[in-house]
Amino acid sequence: MRHILLAALCFLFSLAATAQESFVLNSHTLSAHIQAEINAPYCNEANGEIIINAVSTQKLAYSLDGELFQYENVFSELPAGDYMVYCMDADERMDSLTVRVSAQELLTLTDVSTSPATCGEESGKLLLEVSGGRQPVSYILNHQYPQREEYFSSLSAGDYHIRITDANGCTLDTIATIGQTGCPVYIPNIFSPNGDGVNDYFRIQTADENNVMVTRFLIFDRWGSKVYEKYDLPIHSSDGWWDGTYKRFTMNKGHFAYFVEVEFENGMKETFRGTVTLLR
């Protein structure tokens, strides 16, 4: 009998070595060695477990409230928290131990780093940083095949859906945007400020996602008189563009000269000269 008891104890200790957390009660009342192993809840759900292993000369029953007992040694669907595990033998002698069910750390996205693509090319990059969850973690970009690496390259400009999944099946979704740089500046040669909501402003544009600044924006009539000026205008701004007026008066249709100076995010500057036709 002693050899059997020692073998059972060794088995319990080996289980404890692989468990996430365990609690032990050497009960003199029940003449039993009782060990409660914890399977921590994950994905922020009530799916934790308390598994009770006991070495006793009698069959034991178990309860979490001291009233409703069961012979099954597993309590499941438990949220994180502290629990009192009651053990009772056939003579209704009871003993108890307190156990803590600690939740696994949630899978969390801590950082998203992106590098823009060169205009029209697939040269963008994406780097993710996560914490928590259970390893290994996999990453899926735009519903493609999953990968273990948190790094993606050869990306064109645009929005990307990312699903992150840990070994427990916990998922995390996010959207990352790859910008683009090195795109040409577009200056229209005609506009029609007639209030129809279409092409009402003489506006400089680019597909570049970086902070491109129009440092000087000057408009001259055919006699060389300056009719509009604007400085340090972000190219992606919706305000500040010429609406075809001068001192609040509507200009007649005709050709106007412009001088535009643009500064890119890397400090490089470029100037543009030309004419734009105002239509009514």
Domain ranges of the chain: 2-101, 108-181, 185-278
Which residue's entry shows tokens 């570049």?
A: 208
For the domain made up of 2-101, the CATH class stated in words is mainly beta
pLDDT in tens, 236-248: 999 999 999 999 8
Report the pLDDT value the prediction gives residue 58, as an integer from 0 to 100: 92
Alpha helices (H) in the chain, listed in sequence order:
2-18
210 contacts 179 by C-beta, under 8 angstroms: yes
- Enter the pTM of the model: 0.70
Ranges under pLDDT 70 in the chain:
1-20
Q: What are the CA-CA distances from residue 82 to residues 38, 55, 99 (Å)? A: 11, 24, 6
| Beta strands in 41-156, from DSSP E residues, in sequence order | 48-56, 61-63, 74-78, 81-88, 94-101, 108-115, 117-118, 124-131, 138-141, 151-155
For the domain made up of 185-278, the CATH class stated in words is mainly beta
In the chain, the amino acid numbered 93 is R
Report the pLDDT value the prediction gives residue 280, as an integer from 0 to 100: 82
Same CATH fold assignment for domains 2-101 and 108-181: yes
Report the pLDDT value the prediction gives residue 207, as an integer from 0 to 100: 87
Q: What are the DSSP calls for 173-189, one per residue? A: EEEEEE-EESPPEE--S
The sheet with strand 151-155 has its strands ordered as 108-115, 124-131, 151-155
For 108-181, CATH number? 2.60.40
Give the span between the Cα atoms of 270 and 204, in whole angstroms. 13
Give the span between the Cα atoms of 76 and 224, in whole angstroms. 84
